[in-house]
Structure 1
Amino acid sequence: MWVVEMRAYMPDANGTGEEEPIGRISIHEDTNNDGVCDKTSVFLDGLNQPRSIALYKNGILYGGHEKLYFVENVNGKAGKMTVIDENYTQGGNVEHRTNGLFRGLDNWIYNAKSDTRYREIDGSWVKEKTAFRGQWGMAHDNYGRLYYNENWFGIKVDQLLPNTLRRNPNYLLDRGHFKHISYRDKLYPARITPGVNRGGEGAIDENGYLTAATGAAGAVAYRGDQFPPEFRDTALFCEPTANLVRMVHVSRKDGLLSGEHLMGEREFLASTDERFRPVNLFNAPDGTLYCTDMYHGIIQHKHYLTKYLREHITHRKLESHPRLGRIYRIKYRDNPRGPQPRMLGKKAVALVPLLAHANGWWRDTAQQLIIDSGDAAAIPALTELASDVSKPLGQIHALWTLEGLGEVNLTAISGALKSTDPYVLESAMRLAELLPADDAVTLLPTLTDLAGRSRSGAVVQRQLAACLGRLPSKQALILLNKSS
């Protein structure tokens, strides 16, 4: 477990010493598989307000207070540091700087509080425009939809694969790519919550409870396999000012996502401890859910502290004990935890079956490791999996793994287009655009058949429209006109 520690955050109400370089990135290990980390080491220290990391090849991407770095991993210690972007995050205070570094299904690295994404192409890092998303944290679902939020709403999710609309430079209304699935919904804290910044302005009810999100963060789509089946179409977010985690049940109807709180006047997780500050959530390798708790009396940054909240902090003595953060595992009591992964050191071809694993963490990690290896020996197995209609999630990951290796091929795309799963068809059509022109044109009969299927649904029809506009054929444009 790699942990970013922003140890200088708000030690008191004045933020005294917040620029001190005492932040660090640490590594925690469970060496005997008893479920508890028993070995800890510091990978990199002396940092000024470290923000986020992403594991990448033989090191990590590290988002600092201003710059984005690649840091080599030399036996668990930081090696050479290379600046990837001098202007990763500039200006603004700690609440409004870029963070996230999330590797998406499409192999681009996305960020919250940002409209840029990154990718290494032929040995050079590319920085590209994308839609502006979120404030604190980022995740995705099984189909590559990005999940994010801002402090005043729970979860926003993309309705399309990233940058689908931005490919047309003349289309200026690309805000239509997202949907709120939890927006200003009523919360149910386990304790009265007067310690919120706008508490004196009507944000709490007459009984002293927060009425709606004011510090939402860390959205995640649950993609594990340890919870019961009814929890698998869910998303969650943290509300540290109300000391709770909210769960939303996600529905997909004709390609459109919506969310609903189905727990009545209860929350997925709520604490009576005012210092319980959940700020991020992660799908875990063992199928459970990890919850990062700042466990910090002060959650609001000094730039926005109202007189009301300062008085509350003093009254409740919330400046004391500022460095007691912890990480919780949330587990379904009646199911065992899944096994520890043993992926490092394996050849890429041995990782291909894991692209169809029931746990999304395993699928994502296998995809990233195969791509980072650059091993072309995995291409036949990936092509075969892309055609296996009995494993739709495996097909999706196989296709995007081929894309990450630069090896999208006609056999894989043709095989995937035989699926009846709309999201497999979506990825296959998106990646068909990367085929050589002669190969792409041979897919037109299949695409014509898809266009004529009245039950193919919006997921397929939307991507078909985007795909046809990119294929080098007059027939494609004629079909696009008929489909519209």
Structure 2
Amino acid sequence: MTRHSLCRAALLASSALLAAPAFAQDWPPAFQPLPDFYGYMTPEESMDTFYLPPGYQLEQIATEPLLGDGIVMQWDYQGRLWVVETTFMLNLDELTSATPGSSIVILEDTDGDGVLDSRKVFAEGLVLPRALLILEPGKVIVGEAPNIWLLEDTDGDDVADVKTALTEGNYGGLGGSIEHNPNGMFWNIDNRIYNAYLDEVYRWNGEGFDVERGISITQWGVAADDQGRLLRQGNSAAPSMSFVPDTYYGRSTIFTRNRGNHEWVGGPSRDANRVWPIRPTPGINRGYVDGMLDERGALIELTAAGGLATYRGTALAPEDYGSVFVPEPAAHLLTMSRLFDTGTGMHLRKAYEGADFLTSTEERFRPVFAATGPDGALYVLDLYHGIVQDAVYITNYLNDWIETHDLDETHGANGRVYRLSHESGTASEVMDLAALSTDDLVALLAHDNGWHRDHSQRLIVVQQKQDAVPALRALFSDSPSALGRLHALWTLDGLGAVDTEIALAALASSDRDIRAAGLRVSEALMASGDQQVTDAFLGLIGNTNNDWQVQYQLAASSGALDDAHRLDAMIDIIAAYGANYIALDAVLSGVPDADVPALIAALFAVEAPNTGIANAITTAVTGLTRVGTAEEVAALFDQIAAPERAPWQRNAAITGLEVVLAGAADPGLAPPLPRAPTGSWTVDDLGTPHYAAFREAVGTADAEQAAIYAAQRAANAPPRPTSALETVDGVPMLSLAAEPTALLALTEDATLATRVTGLTYLVTWPGKDQ
């Protein structure tokens, strides 16, 4: 089979810059056979193993010995590359790498030839750090389970000399599973810091974190599009997207459904999960399972994905802007998908059919992290490792593959960084942002390269450059760049400088993204009773131009209204948009727990049949039944059974009771993700964990950390009165103080008798004949 030729560029420095030229061959490339060599390949040799679409160029900008085993990278304000080097799974003799052997290094191109040639060790002696965030020159945040540290270089020598704990005991567990520990530390356009596998969101206050509750269940990697809609990566599925920011769903203890957060955006099929390795990939953990590999022996779907990036630069093809790149180290490739606005949400679609964006025939090519660089190119971090599976989950099958092919022979510490560009792209100027004036930083908020916009905003906000406010107001008002205006708005918010005038202008904007952001930045003004902003907010209800993002944000932000306006506005929003469960969950998340009975009474007061109101009744009854006191549940039963209750309202309420007590399906849940037709994981002993004792020890550490984390959560949570709902022999039961006579009377209604009788079996009270 003919393969695409990849010629080598000349050696430019001691750390060689090797480039694959733009391709002119047909696409997709021919499928290749298994390699006959699985050992260490030099950086020069590795370059002959790659395949790219026509027009793209691949360059090596850092290799060993300059770089070790890197798992996370980030560019600083000076254009230098910071990499977290790990000691993860170096071999099969030392299953745990939870020893102080990890480092954070700074790599720099000192002679301007495009190659990173200088290495400085900023911090060492770390234990498997998982997250990195550069706050400002000399200040770096590091997530090292179970703590988050602020590392500071106070004397300008690029070496950390002060280490301060920002949070202790809740950023994963030391000795716990790497796959189930937090990571991310992603600074988003809203000036909040988001993570994966952690339900906390942080805001930097100049000295530490202000903490908000959030939602995060995915495994490795956080990214966002231009508007700040978060994407998170699970190991075995395409990225999910949050249309509603995490923190809104941390507000309520009654409404726990969170549609619009971690929504599947791959459509009704599993196409977004499909991968196209360039050759057979038997060396995956469940390669023995039917349906994991296709007829050619190649991985069918993502299985070890993480470290995703939303490309927002200038050096790839113009049509690539906004695309999502996902590293898949088990299949030696980098996927590329495009995001589309469907008019009702976002949709993710693979960029190529039958091929993936960057593939390699080399077993040790392990892309684990991708990011847009200051020059507008896409960068890929290669762990260059034989083993990429945590020993906790290594099966007998995979262990045999590793041993047979000597994949735990590491050849030392290795790491590589690749730059990807396109012949039609344009490189952005790399500059030292920290040396620029405030006005110059503000001007960069309208730059074509999202890296410049993001980092200029972050620097202004972290350093609280209040002198930027006049220029920011001018940029927000006058810039022809919608993205420039959006960043200006969020930067003003980060400086605490959004006033009534700015808020009103944002809410009246013709740009949907500025209007949606305007709703968020207006919340503090509404909460303080600003009547002008409140009136503008209320005026948007029913006047969103059918824009789904504005509707979702309007729903979420309604919880910030003051007491005089909140409940009425919520009812209007539910009536207008509550047929959509994302909008419904967003608005209900903002109902104070104490106001839920009043909400239910207001919903029942709506006389005309309305789908949104009916959905809200079902959801509200479900929530209150789960956590309400005996008195609250008894009052709820009386409301449901009231003689004036309309049949459509009563039906919706009874459905809510059935969800809790009878195990009925919650009608608001997202459709289940289509599942791949894979076979049994138990085939002889191939799927048995090979390191059972180690797995047990890690499981114990995970359980101990989970208990600590739960105790912290319970201590910080507002106390709740005792719920009427109990579990008796695995069956939910409501325990009331008195007979629910009004509910029992509904059994006389022939249309309800069966349903109500079934529910009363699951309700107990003093004197009930059991």
TM-score for both structures, normalised by structure 1: 0.94
2:537 maps to 1:458: no
The within-5 A match list for 1:194-209 is: 194-202=282-290, 203-209=292-298
Contact in 1 for aligned 2:529/2:562 (Cα 8 Å): no
Partner of 2:335: 246
Contact in 1 for aligned 2:201/2:247 (Cα 8 Å): no
2:147 maps to 1:67: yes
Q: For the residues of structure 2 that align with 1:122 and 1:288, how far apart are their CA atoms? A: 31
**Structure 1 residue 129 displacement after superposition:** 1.8
Partner of 2:461: 371
Q: For the residues of structure 2 that align with 1:247 and 1:451, how far apart are their CA atoms? A: 38
Pick from 168, 180, 195: which aligns with 1:111? Answer: 195
Structure 2 vs 1, CA of residues 151 and 482 (structure 1 numbering), >3 Å: closer, same or farther?
closer
Structure 2 vs 1, CA of residues 476 and 197 (structure 1 numbering), >3 Å: closer, same or farther?
closer
What SS does the aligned partner of 2:457 have?
helix
Contact in 1 for aligned 2:87/2:101 (Cα 8 Å): yes
Pick from 398, 409, 414: which aligns with 2:499? Answer: 409
Give CA-to-partner distance per residue, 1:114-149, whole Å, 9 cap, x none. 111222336342333210232112111111111111
Contact in 2 for aligned 1:5/1:24 (Cα 8 Å): yes
What is the letter of the counterpart of residue 427 of structure 2? R
What is the letter of the counterpart of residue 186 of structure 1? R
Contact in 1 for aligned 2:500/2:525 (Cα 8 Å): yes
What SS does the aligned partner of 1:329 have?
strand
**Structure 1 residue 166 displacement after superposition:** 3.3
Partner of 2:310: 221
Partner of 2:374: 285
> Which is worse superposed, 294-303 or 428-437?
428-437
**Structure 1 residue 344 displacement after superposition:** 0.7
Coordinate RMSD, CA, aligned: 2.2
Q: For the residues of structure 2 that align with 1:172 and 1:56, how far apart are their CA atoms? A: 33
What is the letter of the counterpart of residue 11 of structure 1? L
Contact in 1 for aligned 2:282/2:297 (Cα 8 Å): yes
Contact in 2 for aligned 1:441/1:472 (Cα 8 Å): no
**Structure 1 residue 162 displacement after superposition:** 3.2
Pick from 374, 398, 419: which aligns with 1:309? Answer: 398
Pick from 326, 331, 338: which aligns with 2:428? Answer: 338
Partner of 2:94: 15
2:439 maps to 1:349: yes
Give CA-to-partner distance per residue, 1:145-199, whole Å, 9 cap, x none. 1111111112111112332343344321125422223456221101110000111
Contact in 1 for aligned 2:84/2:132 (Cα 8 Å): no
Contact in 2 for aligned 1:356/1:394 (Cα 8 Å): yes
What SS does the aligned partner of 2:428 have?
coil
Contact in 1 for aligned 2:132/2:185 (Cα 8 Å): yes
Contact in 2 for aligned 1:386/1:415 (Cα 8 Å): no
Contact in 2 for aligned 1:7/1:323 (Cα 8 Å): no
Q: For the residues of structure 2 that align with 1:47 and 1:123, how far apart are their CA atoms? A: 22
What SS does the aligned partner of 2:435 have?
coil
Give CA-to-partner distance per residue, 1:11-64, whole Å, 9 cap, x none. 212435623322111101123332211222111112222222100134100111
Q: For the residues of structure 2 that align with 1:253 and 1:8, how far apart are their CA atoms? A: 43
Q: For the residues of structure 1 that align with 2:527 and 2:390, how far apart are their CA atoms? A: 54
Partner of 1:89: 172
Give CA-to-partner distance per residue, 1:198-220, whole Å, 9 cap, x none. 11122223321111111011122
What SS does the aligned partner of 2:484 have?
helix
**Alignment coverage as a number of residue pairs:** 484
Structure 2 vs 1, CA of residues 413 and 26 (structure 1 numbering), >3 Å: closer, same or farther?
same
What is the letter of the counterpart of residue 172 of structure 2? T
**Structure 1 residue 376 displacement after superposition:** 1.2
**Structure 1 residue 436 displacement after superposition:** 6.4
Structure 2 vs 1, CA of residues 402 and 71 (structure 1 numbering), >3 Å: closer, same or farther?
same
Contact in 2 for aligned 1:2/1:25 (Cα 8 Å): no
Q: For the residues of structure 2 that align with 1:86 and 1:477, how far apart are their CA atoms? A: 38
Pick from 480, 485, 493: which aligns with 1:390? Answer: 480
Pick from 41, 49, 52: which aligns with 2:128? Answer: 49
Q: For the residues of structure 1 that align with 2:133 and 2:195, how far apart are their CA atoms? A: 11
Per chain length, whose mean CA-contact separation is higher, i.e. which structure has more relative contact order (CA < 8 Å, sep 6+)? 2
Contact in 2 for aligned 1:239/1:278 (Cα 8 Å): yes
**Structure 1 residue 454 displacement after superposition:** 6.0
Pair member with larger Rg: 2
Give CA-to-partner distance per residue, 1:390-415, whole Å, 9 cap, x none. 32212221122122222221222222
Q: For the residues of structure 2 that align with 1:211 and 1:153, how far apart are their CA atoms? A: 12
What is the letter of the counterpart of residue 444 of structure 2? L
Pick from 275, 285, 289: which aligns with 1:187? Answer: 275
What is the letter of the counterpart of residue 397 of structure 1? H
Contact in 1 for aligned 2:152/2:161 (Cα 8 Å): yes
Contact in 2 for aligned 1:190/1:270 (Cα 8 Å): yes
Pick from 224, 229, 237: which aligns with 1:153? Answer: 237
Pick from 101, 105, 117: which aligns with 1:26? Answer: 105
What SS does the aligned partner of 1:215 have?
coil
Pick from 560, 575, 587: which aligns with 1:470? Answer: 560
**Structure 1 residue 479 displacement after superposition:** 5.1
Q: For the residues of structure 2 that align with 1:138 and 1:345, how far apart are their CA atoms? A: 29
Contact in 1 for aligned 2:446/2:483 (Cα 8 Å): yes
TM-score for both structures, normalised by structure 2: 0.60
Pick from 99, 114, 119: which aligns with 1:40? Answer: 119
> Which is worse superposed, 38-47 or 442-451?
442-451
Partner of 1:399: 489
Contact in 2 for aligned 1:290/1:328 (Cα 8 Å): yes
Q: For the residues of structure 1 that align with 2:209 and 2:243, how far apart are their CA atoms? A: 27
Contact in 2 for aligned 1:440/1:471 (Cα 8 Å): no
Contact in 1 for aligned 2:89/2:391 (Cα 8 Å): yes
Partner of 2:408: 319
Partner of 1:294: 383
What SS does the aligned partner of 2:288 have?
helix
Partner of 1:266: 355
What is the letter of the counterpart of residue 52 of structure 1? A
Structure 2 vs 1, CA of residues 302 and 466 (structure 1 numbering), >3 Å: closer, same or farther?
closer
Q: For the residues of structure 2 that align with 1:453 and 1:270, how far apart are their CA atoms? A: 48
Which protein has the bigger strand share?
1
Give CA-to-partner distance per residue, 1:229-270, whole Å, 9 cap, x none. 211131111110000111111111235111111311010111
**Structure 1 residue 324 displacement after superposition:** 1.5
Q: For the residues of structure 1 that align with 2:316 and 2:208, how far apart are their CA atoms? A: 41
Contact in 1 for aligned 2:506/2:518 (Cα 8 Å): yes
What is the letter of the counterpart of residue 128 of structure 2? Q
Contact in 2 for aligned 1:215/1:240 (Cα 8 Å): yes
What is the letter of the counterpart of residue 235 of structure 1? V
Contact in 2 for aligned 1:389/1:419 (Cα 8 Å): no
Gaps of 5+ in 1: none
What SS does the aligned partner of 1:419 have?
coil
> Which is worse superposed, 427-436 or 215-224?
427-436
Partner of 2:255: 171
What is the letter of the counterpart of residue 165 of structure 2? V
Which protein has the bigger helix share?
2
Q: For the residues of structure 2 that align with 1:227 and 1:41, how far apart are their CA atoms? A: 30
What is the letter of the counterpart of residue 512 of structure 2? P
Give CA-to-partner distance per residue, 1:264-311, whole Å, 9 cap, x none. 101011111111100111111111111011010111111111111111
Contact in 1 for aligned 2:526/2:560 (Cα 8 Å): no
